[in-house]
Amino acid sequence: MYRDFGTILVAAILGIIMVAVPLFLQSLVAPSKKTKEKLETYECGEVSEGSAWLQFNIRFYVIALIFLIFDVEVVFLFPWAVVFKDLGLLAMVEMSIFLVILIIGLAYVWIKSDLDWVKRKVKYAAGRYERIQIKENT
């Protein structure tokens, strides 16, 4: 069984070769004319400005996390929808339980005001968020 790792080794070596050889070939063949514009950092074709080392708003991460959860939910829903006819009621019940758990999560982030970009002053959350100061022009 453990000899099967040989296959993985061969695949790994092949992978390295297949990346290295084209890179090497193009460095031999391709003309190299460096201009100022070519050496600039690529930023979607725009002229780049400012440093990339700046602080992001922490709320980006919260939004990303919430997005991830509901993204995964959809990923689970597609295969379920495909085989739904064969499985019938049982699949319906199972998926309902899954969705109920996620909906509780949605209710949680909603009530905690994580769906809004500017945090609401929530009644019960006063102590927790009282230190947050919303700056102008951000």
Partner 1 sequence: MTNLQSLSFYYPELILTVVILAAIIYDLTLDKSQSGKVGWLLVVGLIGVALAIVFQENKVTTLFSDAIVLDPFASFFKLIVILATIFVSIVSLQSGELKAYRKGEYFTLLGIITFGLFLMVSTVDLILVYLSIEIVSIMSFVLAGYLKQNTRSNEAGLKYVVYGAFSSGIMLFGLSYIYGLTGSTNYFEIQHALAGLDSEANTAIVMAMILMIAGFGYKISAVPFHFWTPDVYEGAPTTITAYLSVAPKAGAFALMIRFFNQVLADGGGMGGLDSSSIATLPWPEIFSLLAIITMTLGNLVAIQQNSIKRMLAYSSVAHAGYMLLAMPVMSGDSMYAIMMYLVMYLFMNLGAFFVVITVQNKTGGETFDDYKGLGWEMPMIGIVMTIFMVSLTGLPPTAGFIGKFYIFASLIKGGNEFYWLVMIGGINSVISLFYYLRVVKVMYFEGESHEKIVQPPTVMAALLLATAIPTVLLGVYWTPIADWVQRSLVFFIQTL
Q: Contact positions toward partner 1, by CB under 8 A?
A: 1-2, 4-5, 90, 101, 104, 107-108, 111, 124-128
Question: Do residues 83 and 91 touch, judged by C-beta distance below 8 A?
Answer: yes
* Beta carbon nearer to partner 1, 49 or 86: 86
Supply the minimum distance, in Å, between the C-beta of residue 29 and partner 1: 40
**CA–CA separation, 99 vs 94, rounded Å?**
9
**CA–CA separation, 109 vs 105, rounded Å?**
6
Supply the minimum distance, in Å, between the C-beta of residue 89 and partner 1: 12
**CA–CA separation, 14 vs 77, rounded Å?**
37
What are the structure tokens assigned to 88, written together? 């019938």
* Beta carbon nearer to partner 1, 18 or 104: 104
Supply the minimum distance, in Å, between the C-beta of residue 51 and partner 1: 25
Question: Do residues 73 and 102 touch, judged by C-beta distance below 8 A?
Answer: yes
Supply the minimum distance, in Å, between the C-beta of residue 1 and partner 1: 5
* Beta carbon nearer to partner 1, 20 or 120: 120
